Amino acid sequence: MANSKPTPSLTLYRGFPSRGRYTPSPFVNKLEARLRIGGLPYRVETGSIFKAPRGKLPYLDFDREGGSGGGGENDNNTTGSGPEQLADSTLIARRLIEEGYLPDLNAALTPAERARDLALRALLEDKLYFYQVRERWIDNYYAMRDSVLGFMPFPVRFVVGLLAYRNVKNTLHGQGVLRFTADEAQALRLEVWESVNAMLLESRNKAREAGRYGPFWALGGAAPTEADAAVFGFVVASLSCKQAPTTKEIIRSFPVVMEYARRIHDQYFSDYEHWTE
């Protein structure tokens, strides 16, 4: 359990202006899930990748003294006085665990269970993520551009979108995902979701056998692990992104994955808008 330190002030910058709903970013949703599972309150702001400490979302203003927060977008304070900016969803959670503000969900796991947890997170964050980016920014570029950059005048949106497209294309080609044909990429993306579905099906069956009817967890235990924040984050990001229709169709074809997300939503995100079934 987290210790009894005073609750810090946390401002989470999500990169999306909408509130009370999930974002298309799996990492934003992952961090929100991690904070809520850990019982740590936070407030949300839009922020920007141009102001983010590492040039990516999400990032967090962390004020141990419980100040108002939300005023440190250009700060990177490490002195402990005033808000400090933290970046990267995994590193943010790790820092809050180390300082005793969040419980360590993996503390009771065996070394083999920790390896499974890490492997599942890597499957999503270091493999599936790039297939998802390809689907959104390459296969459905115009819809993605006009959604993410829709607040910009068209001439600006055209230029910024083109720059984003080129950057994504170069990244995916170097990473290797763009070297597959569309059919090959689709098959590999489906393989990941089939594996996730198989794990969750086994976990749900174990929970039922044990008489647990609330949320069930990816590794099959009685409590969540770090992997659950990632799995949930990827599922709801995909269900919330209209520019990834193939992935949304895949997820909806797996009732157990939908049930997994719904149960976590009902317990931890009941104030959020539900995705359309």
For residue 168, being part of any structural domain is answered with yes
Assess whether 117 and 226 both reside in one domain: yes
Count CB atoms within 10 A of the CB of residue 219: 21
For residue 39, being part of any structural domain is answered with yes
Assess whether 43 and 128 both reside in one domain: no
CATH number, domain with residue 168: 1.20.1050
pLDDT for the residue numbered 70: 44
| Ranges of H-type helices in 108-181 | 111-123, 129-134, 141-148, 154-175
Residue found under tokens 């009732």: 255
Q: How far is CA 55 from the centre of its chain?
A: 16
Assess whether 153 and 206 both reside in one domain: yes
Instruction: Please say which residue of 98, 123, 152 terminates a domain.
Output: 98
Q: Are the C-beta atoms of residues 53 and 9 closer than 8 Å to each other?
A: no
Measured CA to CA in angstroms, residue 125 lies from 7, 83, 215, 265 at distances of 29, 28, 22, 21
Instruction: Please say which residue of 77, 98, 119 terminates a domain.
Output: 98
Assess whether 92 and 123 both reside in one domain: no
Euclidean distance between the first and the last CA atom of the chain, given in angstroms as a whole number: 35
User: Per-block average pLDDT, block size 10, for the chain (277 residues)?
Assistant: 72 90 95 97 91 90 69 46 87 96 96 97 97 95 88 89 93 95 96 98 96 94 97 96 92 97 96 83
Q: How many domains does the chain have?
A: 2
Assess whether 122 and 66 both reside in one domain: no
For residue 273, being part of any structural domain is answered with no
Range of the domain at 248: 111-268
239: tokens are: 């269900």
